[in-house]
A and B are shown apart, each in its own frame.
Chain A
Amino acid sequence: MLSPTNKKRILVLGIGNILWADEGFGVRVVEEFHRRYAVDDNVTVLDGGTQGLYLVSFLEQADRLIVFDAIDYGLLPGQLMLVRDDEVPKFTGARKVSLHQTGFQEVLSAAELLGRRPRELALIGCQPFDLEDWGGPLTAPVRFQIAPAIKLACKLLEQWGSPAKLRSLPLPASERLLANNIDHANYEMRAQPI
């Protein structure tokens, strides 16, 4: 018997720094995913920002993980790539980072060290175009990949038996993942410094 309560727990996570142009990709995808789709109780949708070890407890509670992030694959700007399971840690060796903003690889291995990391991993990454533009918006090639990235995640969720459902009513502003002027629309409208 497979009741909804003992379904495998899934974490849908977006990481990155929204203040740094394309680096905000992961957070913007998860924000938009949450705005458009409702998920079952066994699915958690999380804006992880640049948090490091804070995320360990969320990872521990998940059997399956989908993570959105900006990834330097050496591909063309805006190219999307899905990486699965054992391949994920290879792509998450953080460059220019470290403990606190702990490269996601370290968050994964911390969960591994504690003996409780998600068994199935899916990294949906996008090749950034511009990471230097502090305070700038997502660039067009990366912004255009938000919808395809969400589509990839929906497909995975369906395969995992917990399909996301389009919201029948718009998500109230108070329930959005990011508020206080840092939501995507408000942030971008004002992203060009005056």
Chain B
Amino acid sequence: MAVQTPNGFTLDRSGRRIVIDPLTRIEGHLRIEANLDSDNVIRNAVSSGTMWRGIEVILRGRNPRDAWAFTERICGVCTGTHALTSVRAVENALGVTIPENANSVRNIMQLCLFVHDHLVHFYHLHALDWVDVVSALKADPKSTSALAQSISPWPQASPGYFKDLQIRLTKFFGSGQLGPFKNGYWGHPAYKLPPEANLMVVAHYLEALDFQKEIVKIQAIYGGKNPHPNWLVGGVPCAINIDGIGAVGAINIERLNIVSSIIDRSIEFVEQVYLPDIAAICSFYKDWLHGGGLSSKSVMSYGDIPENANDCSTESFKLPRGVILDGNLKEILPIDHGDPEQIQEFVAHSWYKYPSDCCGLHPWDGITEPSFELGSKLKGNKTDIKELDEGGKYSWIKAPRWRGRAVEVGPLARYIVGYAQGKAEFKEPAERLLKGLNLPVTALFSTLGRTAARALECQWAAHQMRYFQDKLVISIKAGNTATANVSRWNPESWPKEAKGYGFTEAPRGALGHWIKIKDAKIDNYQCVVPTTWNGSPRDFEGNIGAFEASLIGTPMADPQRPLEILRTIHSFDPCLACSTHVMTPDGQEMASVKIR
């Protein structure tokens, strides 16, 4: 029996159900269940985060100035962006302003994370949903070389280079240790690239693996420490001593030059490797425009990368800010993180307890009280769930809503808002890519569009790093060396009670932290992370979130091997964060796919 959701999707759970648990190659633990009709088209989808994340609980009573160090540990990939959001929340609560140099350094670190995360996400997580590694073994190195040279001036493209790589790969596979390539659905009919294109992208997979190590050096230089950079309420912890030699941690001309050179090489890599690969992949998947989900309806971007320190206006933000509802690109609605009526979280279908299931709570008043109850139609039991009941509580993820509406966040959302604002730096590259592929603008509202937007944004971010690096150097050369404002460092200068919020655009979407401070200690702390928006379960009105929406209507070639589901969910760069990574002797655990 089909039901209509308030946000415009038709769900039918009468067909057979498939269960994928866990979904592989993501941060954390995600379970997807879907009902297929007789043609193997997805008619209902259920997304369940199956691990509890309660940073809120552990921060209560701690020193607000240390909150970043805890949030940095939530997970292994969002490290810096959580830390930045945290220091911004404390600064907002206490009315602390930061110097211009600190703004530039923070922007560079955040943009560096964008470049690193987008590149790593694409090549090491997502590419394998489009690229068949085993097919690459059959490619002709000469034709691969011809293909590579026809789309990019990137120098590593000789027949010998690809031949050597093929030999290495064959050896690697022959040794039985598939490593990162294990659990792939190699040979699946939904793979469309010819062997040569597969080999080319696999070569770049390895080059990206090598190159990503360079990019993070920027974090180490400005953060003073890798892989857990240091942050500071009031600015950045790195001192500037331009003529200094060997001063521990201080930024001198030599270090600035290292950063500068890494930025140049990042721009080169993104423009000569990542973008041509994306264009090539898109050209073979033009007919696979599934997965748009909420993107053509409701999207949100908080905005980030302020041009001017302490200026959170739409004009100052280089990343777009605003909400689009119901596909109305003509109206961009303003966001206020402090308005209790705007951002609210609901728990009608989440494993938490609120005073009332139908009322949302603004994060300042957020509660994180677990309540593991299962719906009455659940198949299985608490310790062995065979099939979730989405009519009851079914996820550890809360359901955040903007004025009651489910929205998609992330690179595609940012590009859609930027496009609607008519911002040339987002609109023009997107139009150029689409034109080259002979696709209409509406093709952006798809899994492929999400993947392409991420690549375009990676290029944008690399150039913005250049911009802020130059700005920083000019400022330093003009004699401005301030990197921190410590005038309100001492808690005695704080009000007895204060509250604030901090937000960023994380690579995977809008991220916010809300803090309440009482007697110089944290009284309440709530994080609403991008994957909470995208991976949210239903709310009390029945609106579905972005993951669930994106799967509806997708045909599956082989339900036993749910490549299409992986492809679309991975396109969001989900981060369910902070799961355990306990190792098991048997290891090699395959995602279990069950069909009922």
Determine whether the beta carbon of B588 is less than 8 Å from that of A93: yes
Q: Say how far B213's CB is from chain A's closest CB, in angstroms.
A: 4
* A69 proximity list for chain B (CB < 8 A): 583
Contact (Cβ within 8 A) A17 B125: no
Query: B213 contacts A57, CB within 8 Å?
Result: yes
Within 8 A of A (CB), among B225-244: 226-228
Distance in Å: Cβ of A122 to nearest Cβ of chain B:
14
A-B contact count (CB 8 A): 200
Which chain B positions have C-beta within 8 A of A108? Answer: 179
Partner of B581, one of A18, A89, A104, A190: A104
Given A113-B206, A180-B66, the answer on whether A96 and B172 have CB atoms closer than 8 Å is no
Residue-by-residue, is A140-163 near B (CB-CB < 8 Å gives 1, otherwise 0)? 000000000000000000000000
Q: Is A135 an interface residue (CB 8 A)?
A: yes
A residues contacting B by CB (< 8 A) are 15-20, 23, 47-57, 60, 69-74, 89-106, 108-110, 112-115, 125, 128, 131, 134-135, 179-182, 190-191, 193-194
**Contact indicator B120/A90 (Cβ below 8 Å):** no
Our pick among B57, B69, B124 for the contact of A134 (Cβ within 8 Å) is B57
Residue B436, interface by CB 8 Å: no
B60–A193 touching, CB < 8 Å: yes
Q: A99-B27, A100-B125 are in contact. Are A50 and B73 (CB under 8 A)?
A: yes
Chain A nearest Cβ from B421, distance in angstroms = 31
Judged by a CB distance under 8 angstroms, whether B284 is at the interface is no
The answer on a CB contact under 8 Å between B585 and A90 is: yes
With both beta carbons as reference points, the residue of chain A lying nearest to B578 in the complex is identified as A17
CB distance from A181 to the nearest CB of B (A): 4
Most A Cβ at <10 Å: residue of B70, B177, B213, B581: B581
- Total chain B interface residues with beta-carbon distance under 8 A: 60
**CB of B216 closer than 8 Å to a CB of A:** yes
Q: CB within 8 A of B578: which of A19, A98, A114, A181?
A: A19
Give the chain B neighbours of A106 by CB distance below 8 A: 179-180
Fill in one digit per residue for B40-54: 1 if any A CB lies within 8 Å of its CB, else 0.
000000000001111
In the complex the two chains form, what is the Cα distance from A91 to B29 in whole Å? 20
Rounded to whole angstroms, the CA-CA distance of A182 and B580 in the bound complex is 18
Q: Which of B210-263 contact A (CB under 8 A)?
A: 210, 212-213, 216, 226-228
- B residues in contact with A54, CB < 8 Å: 76, 216, 226-227
Q: A110 — which chain B residues lie within 8 A by C-beta?
A: 179-180, 209
Contact A100 B583 (CB under 8 A): no
Contact A103/B581 with A180-B69, A193-B60 known, Cβ cut-off 8 Å:
yes
